Chain A
Amino acid sequence: MNIFVFVKRVPDTESKIRINHETNSIDEEGLKFVLNPYDEYAMEEALRIREAKGGKVTVLSVGTEESTVVLKKCLAMGADEAVLIKEDTPELYDGLRTAKIIAHAMKTKFADYNLLLFGKQAVGADNAQVPVMVAALLGLPQINVVTKLEIEGNTAVAHREIEGASEKVNTPLPAVISAQKGLNEPRYETLKGIMMAKRKEIPVLTLQNLGLDESSLVSQLELVKLESPSARQAGTVIEDEPETAAKRMVEFLRNEAKVV
């Protein structure tokens, strides 16, 4: 079983996001970056499949040199190989560009694979586009937002989360699967893993190495403006006997807010 896991370096979810209006971008100063939380589930699932069926797990990231840190984390978790596709273009919030780069790399450099695993979305851009777009560009079946996965021979059987229910899908491999929270409990890196990851070389590919022409990757989205959410006004806060407090809240909901 030859598994590829695709990961992204993103700001920690506890981060405050500030906007630099001059550059029309997110101010990265002081932000803590981590492995995208959903990618951890994808990574863990890949390791579990390898442990059960044998094979190899390769982790791949499209991003700046700094993405090496999240690749090292995946190696420390247990990935066999890591590859960085160096992409220095600032965040464009365009899933298609990333998907084209990944699909092209898979076609030209890594044509031998059975399973492509992603996090269901990267926190930040919040596009939730890349896994599906890669599937489309490679002509593969997809199972998106997966909370349960079993590999039976050459078939993936998965449950994907929808509103108030789940859908069971089974599809032949190779396929694209994206991981949702709840799929598994990601493991921590071991000390031995961290030591091994430190020594491990991470090959770097550039868009040029891949034979990708910038003109084929031009984003079709034009970022006009970034803004912070308008701050909510804090309302009335009361401390009272439970009965009175409850009554006042319901009066507020009924008469002022008019929502019940």
Chain B
Amino acid sequence: MILVYIEVREGKVKKASLEVLSEAKRRANELGQEVFAVLVGHGLESLAPKVSQYGAKKVIALDNPLLSSYSPSGYAHALAWLCQELAPEVIFFTATSMGKDLAPRLAAQLGVSLASDCIQTAVKDGNLEVKRPIYAGKAFATFRFKSSPIMATLRPNVFPLGTPVDGQGDAEKRDVAVPEDQVRDRVDEVFKEEGAELDVTEAEIIVSGGRGLKGPENFDVLRELTGILPHSAVGASRSAVDAGWIDHQHQVGQTGKTVSPNLYMAFGISGAIQHLAGMSSSKVIVAVNKDAEAPIFKVADFGIVGDLFQVLPPLKEELKKVLSE
């Protein structure tokens, strides 16, 4: 069986989890296995029908009031308990902030290795193989597993969502015992970043700015673009972040986030190696830069050599026009 951990934030199933579930279903068909999904929290069983639409034969909601807010120790404890009983062959997580926090904890508890942030899975000679970026995408490594269960986290925004089909699987709520000392690291409070709608790792379009923006106030111009582009977020280069123009959360590159959106728009970003590593796997890249020799043009599908402050206003108007069509 392939077990997929389904992440819930603010009462909603994360899209990235459904992507993982869809990928698990594709591999399970090849391996001749079933897919089970597991939710952890309190009162989440109502989410089961949505999850089963993506191919889970059974959706298990592990329940305990102590798990109503996230704690890595408590969640790992509950999952380890379920794994003992189900003995899954494969366990998949999303490589989101929660998945990256939780999967290694469970892996260590189960005594198995973990492949992080995979971007491809395949079945070769009956064995599961995964591919993952290393050095922030400057190289790729393919792994096979000598342990059971196989454990991997899968990068969001990479694996296609399956087509939802109603009424596929069963749902089951299971009460799980959690000792008090296993929730010592539970989250007390969540602070939303002001104005933040989407994280760069989740966005389909990233509008990114670098040193060429010249100052923090000019990120507002990029925000006007994200205001009209659906599912978009503002990104930044390391120099813009290090200059204090924008928070580190927005940084794309080797000491920031590695992203693969449908569209990456780079404004005033020259394209240092560590930045290119973090965004080269974007499906489409466009760039505006004053310097015709900037390395960003070597990876861009479409580039404009010019002053971004002159290009941005008409670009915004043109985009508005086509988006309203």
Contact = CB atoms under 8 A, between A and B. Distances in A.
Nearest to B102: A132
In this complex, the member of B101, B113, B192 whose beta carbon has the largest number of chain A beta carbons within 10 angstroms is B113
Interface string A127-145: 1111011111100011111
In this complex, the member of B98, B135, B241, B315 whose beta carbon has the largest number of chain A beta carbons within 10 angstroms is B135
A79 to B, nearest CB: 22
A163 B134 contact: no
Interface in A151-175: 159-172, 175
A259 B206 CA distance: 12
A232 B301 CA distance: 9
A260 B283 contact: no
Interface stretch (A45-53, A94-102, A198-206): A94-102
Contact of A170 (B105, B188, B197, B281): B188
Interface in B199-257: 199, 201-202, 205, 229, 241, 247-249, 251, 253-256
Interface of A: 11, 13-17, 19, 26, 37-38, 93-97, 99, 123-130, 132-137, 141-145, 147, 159-172, 175, 180-182, 218-229, 232, 234-240, 242-243, 245-247, 249-250, 252-254, 257, 259-260
Contacts of A124: 134-135
B113 A219 contact: yes
Interface stretch (B26-34, B59-67, B69-77, B158-166): B69-77
Residues of B contacting A: mostly: mixed
The 4 closest A-B pairs by CB, nearest first: A220-B147, A163-B199, A136-B108, A141-B185
Nearest to B287: A237
B85 interface: no
A180 B318 CA distance: 39
B302 A222 contact: no
Interface in B110-125: 111-117
B72 A142 contact: yes
Contacts of A234: 297-300
Interface in B121-158: 129, 133-147
B311 interface: yes
In this complex, the member of A99, A161, A180, A245 whose beta carbon has the largest number of chain B beta carbons within 10 angstroms is A245
Nearest to B254: A13
Contact of A14 (B185, B274, B310): B274
A245 B311 contact: yes
Contacts of B315: 246, 249-250
